[in-house]
Structure 1
Amino acid sequence: MGELVKITVLFFAKSRELVGNKSSELEVKSDVRPTDLLQSIISKHNSLQILSGSLLLSINEDYVDINSEEIVSLKSGDTVAVIPPISGG
């Protein structure tokens, strides 16, 4: 437990605009709570702080409950998507 893995973080919509890139590489612990994973992403990309209360995450295309205390297991090569609130009409 606690092994570091390299993941790819994808940014969509407003998060992409704030970060200025569509993706980023990040090293995180392999076993992590979703809230800690989000905090690691925000720590690397401070511009996301203004959206921190409304971001969604998905891991390998499966949505994750940010408020869950359940540990998620990540492997090198996994993809985490950062999804901001999206409005439409």
Structure 2
Amino acid sequence: MMMDSILTPNQVEVSILAFAGARDLLLQQHSRVNESSNDQSNNGGEIRLTLQSSWPRAYDLRKFLCQIKWPQLQPIEQTIAIALNLKYLSLNESVEINSGDTIALIPPISGG
């Protein structure tokens, strides 16, 4: 389902995929609260979100997602890697996001 909002020129609609502990924390929130904000999740754990299109650093994007948008991710923020369209981002690189892009939140995964 598409959102009925109007994007400003510096905003884009993206898909957020969260894995392992990050996914667990986000799914807990989405199962408890039916948000009427600018994010929507589907049964596969994907969340559609409107974001600004340009970030000075991937670090800033991660900080926004983990501290502002989803504060329940703060305890694992420092361990989360960010990927944009299947490419891991260095925390110091600038980020340009386009509508339809996919951002992945990937904490360390243990097991064997």
Give your verdict on TM over 0.5: yes
SS across alignment from 1:58: strand
The TM-score with structure 1 as length reference comes to 0.86
Residues 28 and 40 in structure 1, CA contact (< 8 A), matched pair in contact too: no
Q: Distance in 2 between matches of 1:49 and 1:18?
A: 10
Off by >6 Å, runs of 4+ in structure 1: none
Q: Distance in 2 between matches of 1:29 and 1:19?
A: 21
Q: Distance in 2 between matches of 1:26 and 1:35?
A: 18
Structure 1 gap ranges (5+)? none
- The Cα of 1:40 is off from its aligned counterpart by 2.1
Which one has the largest radius of gyration? 2
Q: Distance in 2 between matches of 1:24 and 1:44?
A: 12
Residues 5 and 30 in structure 1, CA contact (< 8 A), matched pair in contact too: yes
Counterpart among 74, 77, 87 of residue 49 in structure 1: 74
Residues 28 and 37 in structure 1, CA contact (< 8 A), matched pair in contact too: no
Q: Which residue of 1 aligns with 2:38?
A: none
- The Cα of 1:6 is off from its aligned counterpart by 1.2
Q: Distance in 1 between matches of 2:75 and 2:14?
A: 23
Structure 2 gap ranges (5+)? 1-8, 31-44
Identity of aligned residues (%): 35
Q: Distance in 1 between matches of 2:59 and 2:71?
A: 15
Aligned positions, number? 86
1:11-64 deviation digits (Å, cap 9, x = unpaired):
111111111162212222211120111122122111111101110010000000
1:60 aligns with 2:60: no
RMSD between superposed Cα atoms in Å: 1.5
